[in-house]
Chain A
Amino acid sequence: MKTAAELKFGETGIINEIDESHPSSRRVLEFGFTPGQEIELVNTSLFNDPLAFAVRGTIIAIRKGEADCIKIT
């Protein structure tokens, strides 16, 4: 399954599940990345890491390694 880290610039996806085994999974949930939400990759910085996603009406910057726990369809 694709993860949020694999989204292309400007691409959207719907969150399918959050990988509970990832150490940042709880924080990811608290910032509003929950199953069913639509997210869009709105910005990448120079090094393609961290990535900035639009979620629930705001922009959240998150490291690529942490975005990996967000599985999308």
Chain B
Amino acid sequence: MNIQTEVNIPHISLVGPPNSGKTTLFNYLSGKNYKTVNYPGATVEYSICKLQDKFGYNANVIDTPGLISLLPGSPDEEISINSLYSHPRFGTPDLIIVTVDTSQLSRHLLIVKQLLSCHFNIIVALTMLDILKRKNYDIDSEKLSSLLNCPVIKVDPRTGSGVIELIEKVETLVNNKVPLNKERTSRLDERDSFNDLLATYREIEAIENEVLIKISPINLTKANKRLKILINPEAKIECKEIDRTTLKIDKVLLHKVWGIFFFFIIMAVTFTSIFWLAEPLMNMVDSLFGFLSAAAFNFLGNNWFGDFIAKGIISGTGSVLVFVPQILILFLILGLLEDSGYLARGAMLIDKPLSRIGLNGKSFVPMLSGFACAIPAMMATRTIPNKRERFLTIFILPLMSCSARIPVYALLIAFLFPADKSWMGGIMLACIYIFSIVSSVAVAGIINKFKNTLIKTEDNSSFILELPAYRKPKLKVVVTNTYHNGKHYVKKAGPIILGFSIILWFLTYFPNTSPKIDTGNLTKLQLVESQNAARLSSSYAAEMGKLIQPAMKPLGMDWRVGVSLIAAFTAREVFVSSLALIFKVTDDINKDFQNSMITAMRKAEIDGTGQKLFTTSTIIGLVVFFVFALQCLSTVAVSRKETGGWRIPLLQLLIFTSTAYLLTFITVNGLRALGFS
């Protein structure tokens, strides 16, 4: 499927409020064969597919983020709405399919009425008829069609019933349409939007009363028990009752005391499973690439080309892929939580505390994603309507302990604790996470105090969110989305990390490619290792490292750590592979990598002083450094794109990195003053 070449076929946009069955319909139309693309010039994602061949109609379908109104309330809504008027690549859609949940008719007809009044060509797809029937109601779709003056089709995207009919109607409409252009569609007038909305709702309510038909209740006694109806039969339309199971679950999950308890339990389970489930997979990826790298080196020989392929390309690719398991598992769990309806509740529970430090309940999901990677997390902030809260969320996201830090912490913790006491390492890792959360809260609080000087923008702070009915998550949908998210990460972050690891390889290999060393009495392996060491100590990287030696001295470290820290700006996990390069630990499959690494680190001494380089104090100092430092150029780039300028990313880089340096200095020297080596 090549979408690039299909710009000239009709294109159909799928629009609808959140939870209206829009994505399920899209999945049915695409046969799950879609791709995720960015709107040109913006980082809002949308999915695009070609209709499945079995429908016999050649057209593109574009899914848009959920919209409840044509008046934008947040940055992502604004982009979605603009794209309906004029998509940068496809222009105005030939036709818009609007999904409408019939059990929520009055709310969901709002966008339908707005699209019609703006002269879009639309067709309404009515969904969730089973829920409506469970409430003893049915809908007269022909009447609705004539009242709205637009075609209406009943569909069930889960089973596919009605979809063929929908496509046939779409084809007829597109073939007979009056050509749409920018002049014909109009924008909603924002000036009197308040009264316009009231008027629209009055029209919708009149329509609703005409099209909803009560079917005789199966159980009369049950119906009679609903006293309200007997007393005042016209007080409310019965189908507006809330799902009882949802109310019951909410009694527990949103309970004043237990709600918070369950919130922490759910979060704790989420995080522990990210680590425990991902660990064996990450080890597999790691040893696979270790094996490939060693095999390539043996095959190609000890020359620059063999070294380049083995260490530059293969190890570089490995450092990209090693995080994929964690990212996949995080997105899988987030997807399950979202699909079940819990995430919206989590956001509600945490809105008040977050608003105290200038954030928003809607910062919750981005912050959670930040524990995998700050890049998708920053993109997820687009649902936050208030600009200042959104920027502040973006600001603190680099402090969330992203998965790239894990290999670094794993190495540093393993250095501190003996292997037989690995549980202490687990506690230490938990402490690091708590420390990073506490720090981000503190930073947000401080930045919020100086909000007017740091983040110059002010608008209405708001939190209005639909809490969808609880339901069993659809594993298939969640897995598909997880797959697309993972693919997206590899495509986006992969080339950057790989590119930098190639540059790093170059800097550590050249200019002294074949150093002259005494070859007497050395085994082949020893020869390679001494060559590596000699080459490195005279490389460009070492030259650069020696320049920053004065800055590393107060931290009790030397140029070798300095080079690794600089290399870590490409991606934090590069710190480990860079240390390995510098301490000439080869990724030998016959030896445990981490053990040989730690042995090498224990031997390391600061040149000329005889002082140990890695001690309890410097290791803890390094942990502190990694908690704060913004060592990720990709994050800086995304932050610039999302905030629309260099101001925020540069402030982040400056504030976080200088805080990291300062706190590391205090930690190392403080620990030494207290008697730790």
List residues of chain A with CB under 8 Å of any chain B CB.
Answer: 18, 20, 23-32, 34-36, 38, 42-47, 49-50, 52, 54, 56-63, 66
Contacts and interface: CB of A to CB of B under 8 A. Distances in A.
B204 to A, nearest CB: 9
B241 interface: yes
B250 interface: yes
A56 B466 CA distance: 11
Interface in B183-215: 193-194, 197-198, 201, 205
A58 B107 contact: yes
Contacts of A61: 344-345, 347-348, 351, 361, 463-467
Nearest to B348: A61
A33 to B, nearest CB: 9
Contacts of A28: 464
A23 B460 contact: yes
Interface of B is mostly: helix
Contacts of A46: 256-257, 259-260, 349, 352
B605 to A, nearest CB: 54
**Main SS class of interface, A:** mixed
A63 B197 contact: no
B250 A47 contact: no
A50 B250 contact: no
A30 B240 contact: no
Interface of B: 68-69, 71, 73, 103-104, 106-107, 110, 193-194, 197-198, 201, 205, 235-236, 239-242, 246-247, 250-251, 254, 256-257, 259-260, 344-345, 347-349, 351-353, 355, 361, 385, 460, 462-469
- Nearest 3 interchain pairs by C-beta: A23-B460, A47-B352, A57-B240
Contacts of A50: 348, 351-352, 361, 463, 465
Given A43-B254, A59-B242, A34 B198 contact: yes
Given A46-B352, A56-B106, A26 B193 contact: yes
Nearest to A34: B201
A52 B254 contact: yes
Contact of B107 (A31, A49, A52): A31
A26 B194 CA distance: 6
Given A46-B259, A63-B351, 20 more contacts: A18-B194, A24-B462, A30-B68, A31-B466, A45-B254, A45-B348, A46-B257, A49-B352, A50-B351, A50-B463, A52-B348, A56-B106, A57-B103, A57-B240, A58-B469, A59-B469, A60-B466, A61-B345, A61-B466, A62-B465
8 contacts: A24-B464, A27-B73, A31-B68, A31-B466, A45-B348, A45-B349, A46-B349, A59-B242
